[in-house]
Amino acid sequence: MTHAAADLIRQPARVLAAAICEGEVSSVEVTKAHLARIAEVDGQVHAFLQVTAEAALETAHLVDEKRGSGRKLGVLAGVPIAVKDVLTMRGVPTTCGSRILEGWRPPYDSTVVARLRAADMVILGKTNMDEFAMGSSTEHSAYGPTHNPWDLDRIPGGSGGGSAAALAAFEAPLAIGTDTGGSIRQPAAVTGTVGVKPTYGGVSRYGLVALASSLDQAGPCARSVMDAALLHSVIAGYDPRDSTSIDAPVPDVVAAATRADVRGLRIGLVKELSGEGYQPGVLQRFTEAVEILQGLGAEVVEVSCPNFDYALGAYYLILPSEASSNLARFDGMRYGLRVGDDGSNSVEQVMSLSREAGFGAEVKRRIMLGTYALSSGYYDAYYGQAQKVRTLITRDFNAAFAKADVLISPTTPTTAFKIGEKVDDPLAMYLNDIATIPVNLAGNCAMSLPVGLSPADHLPVGLQIMAPPMADDRLYLVGSALESALTDSWGHLLIEEVPNL
């Protein structure tokens, strides 16, 4: 392989890993190429909040020394990666896209970051996100919006738009995101990348700053299904420090991605997730992908999940309720921003002033919703009822999986919309996650992968694959098969299609 920086940044992570392992290129060269790309384009994209260039090059040097001495390397050793700024990283500012954590440098690594380090991966820095992962566009970051590399006037999805945009702009070959209601999959769909929400409990949440503890899940972001599978294999697995972690073998996602054979597989088309409200261009590419799967030998059947219609309402009671509880710790007393501490204000006033200055409008909105839903006299009517709906949604999934091995739908109803278009209309913003939310409520796993460009606006369209808990390998089996078939017709995404980059 050539060593030109322009070539290195466009190579799949698996190719880079193999080349580093064989000594065809050094990790330092690969890292420098990506740091140069960040310096070149991130002023326009704003995918990163922190770039840890010095530490990244130090890690790359150590990987090269390790390879030179003949020691065994991890499967993605020497490959650069970006990490969503909701995961703690020792000594590096972790803001969660919020002013309330300004200046906080965690004294410990999250388990995901620790596993990246143990696998000899090179962490480039921390990516932008909607504040405390509350949003679908990365416009709610206190540090400014991230821009979609396909069209810099459009959103990159959210809340993990920074991670997805870094991939689409070739600033990083891999990234880590988190998914509470679609925050990995929705950005993947609108940036033409691959994003996976693993089974709840399949990847440790230790060191993941909590939004909604029963919904949050970290997962891999990549530009190909195989790259996502390799990263999934690195970060997944039991962690005794996370009480929700599943103590069971990790499904062999890499073998599944390698196999890529859907003959005889039953694929369920979810009736409730592909109708009114979906753009014609999104439905066209989705329908074409379904036909491809049939052509590959899969059996496609329609399934109905009627309680999915109530998922959005239930989610926006459960999430704010859990957020109200989790975010109570950010009070200006122990770490982060402190306002009004001049001796003239009481502790309660300092807390109030710090929260007023530190939290953004969307975070305040959801905290108030959640506090109200949990309040005396309203708990059973709101939060309690939402949990009952959650049970019904899980039952719908179980019934559907009795008829099909995986379920599919469009990932998002639309392609990327313009920055500012929906920021003042919370309900319109929330509807972007209508197809992704049910998976989080049930704890299942799901993937979004690109299935081409909408003919209307020449922007990426994503297809969502859903599987039962701990059947993550099925996502990679179907995703890899579909990706291979599609690559023959439209190839890999090229950043040259974006004139501003």
Residues with catalytic function: 84, 159, 183
Query: Which DSSP letter does residue 221 get?
Result: E
Give yes or no for a contact between 312 and 278, defined as CB atoms under 8 angstroms apart.
Answer: no
Q: How far apart are CA 76 and CA 61, in angstroms?
A: 15
Q: Are strands 174-178 and 80-84 parallel, antiparallel or unpaired?
A: parallel
Residue 500's nearest CA partner among 106, 48, 49, 154 is 154
Cβ-Cβ contacts under 8 Å for 18 (sequence gap 6 or more): none
What amino acid occupies position 155? I
Residue 96's nearest CA partner among 109, 88, 104, 85 is 85
DSSP string for residues in 357-422: HHS-HHHHHHHHHHHHHHSTTTTIIIIIHHHHHHHHHHHHHHHHHTT-SEEEEESSSSSPPBTTSS
For the beta carbon of residue 315, count every other beta carbon within 10 angstroms: 27
Angle between helices 111-118 and 225-235 (to 10 degrees): 110
Q: Are strands 406-410 and 266-270 parallel, antiparallel or unpaired?
A: parallel
Query: Which DSSP letter does residue 329 get?
Result: G
The number of CA neighbours under 13 Å toward the Cβ of 291 is: 6
CA-based R_g, the chain, Å: 21
Residue 84's nearest CA partner among 103, 110, 62 is 110
Q: Which whole-number Å values give the CA distances from 27 to 10, 22, 177, 246, in the listed order?
A: 15, 11, 23, 33
Q: How far is CA 326 from the centre of its chain?
A: 20
Secondary structure (3-state) at 304: coil
Q: How far is CA 56 from the centre of its chain?
A: 22
Q: How far apart are CA 406 and CA 402, in angstroms?
A: 10
